[in-house]
């Protein structure tokens, strides 16, 4: 059976945000889906555009409209509180949900409360939600109804760290450090002083020390304990891209190629993780507007110090691209469709 014989109707809530707009951009070139925009408000923002262009079909972002339209899968590119409010109702229509917020990424309501500083309002769904990291949970994703698309920082950090923990070559007692830097689009499209041009341009800022909401995602998926992992986020004066510099001490790794072998074993058949030769590291240009996460490292055998650099486009592999990768798994499309 050709999996492309069936077409699916796919909706996007939050299509005006940066992740949502990226979803629309990617889905527009996906041959297997019909895109429907789910409009939360009646008084929609009008952007000037050329004459004669035909926007995608738009319907209200209501459960009834989703049911009537027979939407097969809904992307929620919405704040966590909106996602918690909508997810259950959408699932009841029979549609699957891929949520790009932090609402369903953590294993239980308590952990959520600790990091998000508020009670989880759709906690019963947490058991069912599958963390949408295809490199780790591909099979579970394929059969999931509700997928929690990973955080942008967490995606890069987990892909770089998890193989070291799994192979038991990280000296956890000495700690693993992730110094991550992100472009401004990761902060969303809502205007705020922190993302105003004059505050960001020619500036650079550190934030989210030890309290960033992506930290528990990284602990949960890498296996590190909270005291073993230190994370700092920084705001880069660019639009898109995350570069994470990760510091670890290794155990029993003889040569750089041995460290490379650990990554190669983890990602040999992965379509969206690319590895660099020891001593070579990626920059952001190599991954912008792509769904790749690139990983390189420098390793000093004598001191067992490893410095790993992982890069991705925060709006693609860190958000919309990975969400479409998950959709491809859920709906039975080739995993790379519309992503290469």
d(CA 293, CA 238): 18
The 262-281 contact track toward its own copies, x by CB under 8 A, reads ------------xxxx--xx
**Cβ partners under 8 Å of residue 315, min gap 6:** 18, 19, 22, 152, 185, 186, 240, 321
* Total residues at interface with its own copies (CB under 8 A): 70
Per rule CB under 8 A, is residue 77 in the interface with its own copies?
no
Q: How far is the CB of 291 from its own copies (least distance, A)?
A: 13
* By the rule CB under 8 A, 166 interacts with its own copies: no
Is there binding between residue 167 and its own copies (CB under 8 A)?
no
Token readout for 130 is 């599958």
Least distance CB 117 / its own copies (angstroms): 16
Beta-bridged to residue 273, according to DSSP, are 293
Out of 251, 286, 301, 334, the only residue in the binding site for its own copies (CB under 8 A) is: 286
Residues 238, 257 contacting (CB under 8 angstroms)? no
Q: What is the DSSP annotation of 33-71?
A: EEEEEEES-SS-------TT--PPEEEESSHHHHHHTT-
Whichever of 124 and 190 has its CB closer to its own copies, that residue is: 190
User: Please, are residues 301 and 278 in contact by the beta-carbon 8 Å criterion?
Assistant: no
Q: Which of 80, 284, 331, 338 binds its own copies (CB under 8 A)?
A: 284
The DSSP string of 206-264 is EE-TTT-TTHHHHHHHH---GGGEEEEEEE-SSSS-EEEEEEEEBSS--SHHHHHHHHH
**Residue among 39, 81, 179, 270 that touches its own copies (CB under 8 A):** 179
Q: Does position 290 bind its own copies by CB under 8 A?
A: no
Separation between Cα atoms, residue 216 and residue 208, nearest integer Å:
13
- Residues in CB range of 228: below 8 A, 6 or more apart: 172, 173, 175, 176
Using CB under 8 A as the binding rule, whether residue 206 contacts its own copies is answered as yes
64 near its own copies, judged by CB under 8 A: no
Q: Is 191 in the site for its own copies (CB under 8 A)?
A: yes
Report the catalytic residues: 152
79 is an interface residue for its own copies by CB under 8 A = no
Integer Cα distance of 155 and 312 in angstroms? 9
Q: Which residue has the tokens 């650079």?
A: 204
Q: Which CB, 147 or 235, lies closer to its own copies?
A: 235
> What x-and-dash track marks residues 20-59 binding its own copies by CB under 8 A?
----------------------------xxxxxx------
Q: In the window 229-258, what residues touch its own copies (CB under 8 A)?
A: 230, 232, 234, 236-241, 243, 245, 247, 249
Q: Return the exposure string of 79-117: e unless at least 16 CB atoms fall within 10 Å of the residue's CB, then b.
A: bbebbbebbeebbebebbbbbbbbbbbbeeeebbeebbe
Q: Is 200 in the site for its own copies (CB under 8 A)?
A: yes
Nearest CB to its own copies, comparing residues 63 and 177: 177
In angstroms, give the least distance from the CB of 213 to its own copies. 16
Q: Give the shortest CB-211-to-its own copies separation in angstroms.
A: 9
Binding residues vs its own copies (CB under 8 A) = 18, 48-53, 174-175, 177, 179, 181, 184-185, 189, 191-193, 195-206, 209-210, 226-227, 230, 232, 234, 236-241, 243, 245, 247, 249, 274-277, 280-286, 288-289, 292, 294, 296, 298, 300, 302-303, 305, 307, 309
């Amino acid at each position: 059976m050709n999996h492309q014989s069936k077409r699916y109707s796919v909706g996007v809530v939050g299509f005006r945000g940066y992740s949502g707009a990226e979803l629309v951009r990617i889905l527009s070139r996906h041959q297997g889906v019909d895109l429907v925009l789910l409009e939360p408000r009646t008084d929609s923002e009008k952007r000037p555009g050329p004459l004669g262009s035909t926007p995608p079909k738009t319907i209200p972002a209501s459960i009834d409209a989703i049911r009537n339209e027979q939407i097969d899968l809904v992307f929620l590119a919405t704040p966590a509180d909106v996602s918690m409010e909508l997810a259950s109702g959408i699932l009841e229509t029979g549609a699957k949900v891929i949520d790009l917020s932090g609402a369903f990424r953590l294993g239980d309501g308590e952990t959520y409360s600790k990091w998000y500083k508020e009670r989880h309002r759709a906690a019963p769904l947490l058991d069912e939600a599958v963390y949408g990291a295809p490199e780790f949970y591909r099979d579970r994703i394929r059969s999931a109804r509700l997928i929690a698309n990973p955080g942008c920082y967490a995606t890069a950090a987990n892909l770089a760290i998890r193989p070291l923990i799994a192979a038991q070559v990280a000296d956890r007692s000495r700690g693993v450090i992730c110094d991550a830097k992100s472009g401004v689009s990761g902060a969303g499209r809502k205007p705020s002083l922190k993302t105003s041009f004059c505050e960001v341009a020619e500036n650079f800022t550190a934030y989210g020390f030890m309290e960033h909401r992506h930290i528990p995602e990284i602990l949960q998926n890498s296996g590190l304990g909270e005291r073993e992992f230190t994370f700092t986020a920084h705001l880069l004066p660019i639009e898109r891209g995350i570069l994470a510099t990760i510091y670890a001490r290794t155990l029993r790794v003889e040569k750089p190629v041995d460290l490379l072998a650990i990554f190669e074993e983890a990602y040999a058949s992965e379509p969206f993780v690319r590895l660099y030769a020891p001593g070579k590291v990626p920059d952001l240009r190599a991954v912008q507007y792509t769904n790749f996460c690139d990983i390189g490292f420098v390793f000093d055998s004598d001191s067992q110090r490893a410095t790993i650099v992982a890069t991705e486009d925060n709006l693609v592999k860190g958000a919309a691209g990975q969400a479409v990768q998950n959709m491809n798994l859920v709906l039975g499309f080739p995993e790379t469709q519309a992503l290469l």
